[in-house]
Every structure is written in structure tokens, then in C-alpha cells.
Structure 1
Amino acid sequence: MSFFYNYSANNQGLEIEGVQGQSVFSVAKGKVVYIGDTFKNYGKLIIIKHANNYLSMYGFNKNIFIKLNDQVSENQKISTIGCLDNNLSKLYFEIRFKGNPINLLKLFPNIKLKQH
């Protein structure tokens, strides 16, 4: 599995290489607060609100198995990875605290990054 760190000033998420149709799981229990494609840079996006003002974001989904306002559990299958216009399959993943992105490389220092 390869990870690409997104260096954009607007976010600090990870782009995780995958296979189209691969399962995506919630990182923690929470409530689904957004499902849609309004934010074009993320494809079909899922946002889950967790305890203590945390949000998890999952972008570039294909099949979505949850609905808005659903309560999800930790490790619950929420979607599958989709395929972008350039035939690249990946998942965009981001964590926010009180609306601000968290640098995931500080949370997961063992992630090996691949330049793109």
C-alpha cells in the first residue's frame, strides 16, 4: 500500500493508493454528517463527526453503504474505493479537530510516503 501526503495549504490529508472496490472502514464510532460530491476535489465524500469535536473525511468513494445521520461504529464498512478520471484508484483520508486539519504524519510517523 502506498500513501501520498497532500501538501496543499487547504488540507493535510493522506491519499492512499488502493484497488477500485476495496473496502473503506470508519476509524471510530460517530454520526454521518455529510455525503455528497459538492467538493469536487474529493469526489464522493463522506464526513463523520466523532466525539470531542473530531471529524473524519473519506474522499473518492464508489459505493456508499451508509446514509446521512446514520450512527456508525468503529471499523464499520462505510464504502468502497472509487476510480478517478485518470484510472487511479485511491482514498482521500483526513482528520479534523474543531474544524482544523490535523497533520496525520505526526499521528502516524511510520507511514512511508511516495512522491507523486
Structure 2
Amino acid sequence: TRLDRDRLQQHAQTVQSLERERRTLESRAREFSAMQEKAAVAQLALDRAVASRSALMKSIDERRDLAAQLAKELEAAHQRLQAAVTQPGAGPVLVPIRPFRGQLPWPAEGIVVGRFGRQQVGRTAGIDVSRNGIEMSLPEGRPVTAVHEGVVTFAGPFTAYGNLVIIDHGGGAATLYGHLADPNVNKGDRVSAGTAVGSSGRNPGGNPSLYFELRIDGQPVDPLQWLRKQP
């Protein structure tokens, strides 16, 4: 009958409407689930970022503490070094070093990687220390020679300088050769310009290196102003 057909049509429409609503709800449920997954991923990324930042801040603080400790140790080493440099040599030196300003031979063949003056310990530590000489990069084991005649006043291990040789050139002048693999001279030895005082070793950071310092009247001066110009 017509009434039955109308009821069937209405029922079919209701079923279709319910099916559409079901699909809509399922779609929204999938979207909500995807949003939850994205939120979980974002939260995980945030947690990792916070942890990474905390670790970075801790690392920076540790490096700052280490740099401060290093600065104190270097200052103490400089004071001890000053006392060692001022020890008198064994007798007069025939040829003074002062007339050879700008003409002294290099102690070894290498590249200057650390210049005279103030240096920063670490990029993020923000601690400055004074470099009283120059640092050269060169292959380990390369010969290191005296730049002028004089008398060895120290030869052996020294804090922050590794194996160190100090040569008194008379008239308040002295040269220092640090980070040596092994000294070839002993305290009291008289050396000439070009005499091998040792071979290059490694700095405290483990890099092949030579530290060279020149003092005039007991005060550090820029060695690059006294050494020959490199070609």
C-alpha cells in the first residue's frame, strides 16, 4: 500500500542519514586520533628539547667551571714560571740577543695557531687568559732548536707546559720551549743558536704543538716581533 511504501522510504532515508552520521563520526574519530598522535609527537619533541637544553646548560656550566679552574691553574703556573725564568744562568753570554730583534731563527718549522696576548678559553666559557708566547702546530717529533746562544736554566716537566726548556740568554733575556716530547738538554748546559733542545710533542689538548715564549727584562714580549719573517 501507499502507506507501507512511504514508511519504507522514510525508513531507508533514516538508515541513509544514520549511515552518513556514522561515517562522519568515524572520520572525526580518525581526525581526533591523528591529532592525539601529533600532540604526543609534539610533546615528545618538547620533552627532548627541554632535556637537551638542560643538558646544554649543564655542559656550559661545567665548561665554565673547568675554564675557571684552568685559568687559576695557568695563573699559578705563570707565577712558578716567572720564578723559574729569573733563575741566574751559569756565566755571561758573549753575544746579547737584543741586536737580533726581527732576525732570530724560528725554533721549529710550523704554523702559528695561537698568538701572543689574551685568549679565550672555549667559545662558550667566556674566560680569558693571557698567552705569554705563541703556539705552533707542527708534526710530532719535529726538531726544536735554540734561537740564540745561552745557558739552560730549566729542563723537565712543568705544569701546563708539558716538558719545558728555559734558556737564559743574559741581559735579562730568556726563551722558553714548551710541549716538548723529550728535552735533549740538561740544566746548566751551554747551547748555541741551532742547538737541538728537544723534539715537538703535544699540548694538554692532545694536539701536536710547540709553545715558544721570549722574555726581555723578565717580561714576556711578542715573539713574532723578534723572529724572522716567514716567507
TM-score band, normalised by shorter chain: 0.7 to 0.9
2:60 corresponding residue in structure 1:
none
Distance 1:109 1:23 in 2: 18
TM-score with structure 2 setting the length: 0.44
Structure in which a larger fraction of residues adopt strand: 1
Runs of 4+ with >6 A deviation? none
- For 1:108 and 1:34, the matched residues in 2 are separated by 22
Task: Give 1:33's aligned amino acid.
Answer: T
Task: Tell me how far apart the structure 2 counterparts of residues 110 and 74 of structure 1 sit (CA, whole Å).
Answer: 17
Aligned pair in 2 of structure 1 residues 100, 63: CA closer, same or farther (>3 Å)? same
Q: Which has the higher contact order (CA 8 A, sep 6+)?
A: 1
Unaligned runs of 5+ in 1: 112-116
Matching of residues 23-34 of structure 1 within 5 Å: 23-34=143-154
Between the aligned partners of 2:155 and 2:133, the Cα distance in structure 1 is: 18
1:98 aligns to what? 217
Whole-Å separation in 1 of the counterparts to 2:173 and 2:187: 17
Indicate the structure with greater helix content: 2
1:109 offset after TM fit, Å?
A: 8.6
2:134 aligned residue: 14
The structure number with the bigger radius of gyration is: 2
**Percent sequence identity over matched residues?**
25
Q: What's the TM-score once normalised by structure 1's chain length?
A: 0.83
In the other structure, the counterpart of 1:61 is 180
Deviates more, 1:90-99 or 1:8-17: 8-17
Q: Report if aligned partners of 1:11, 1:101 keep a CA contact under 8 Å in 2.
A: no
Question: Is the aligned partner of 1:36 residue 2:147?
Answer: no
User: What SS does structure 2 have at the residue aligned with 1:67?
Assistant: coil
Unaligned stretches of 5+ residues in structure 2: 1-109, 119-128
Shift of 1:63: 1.8
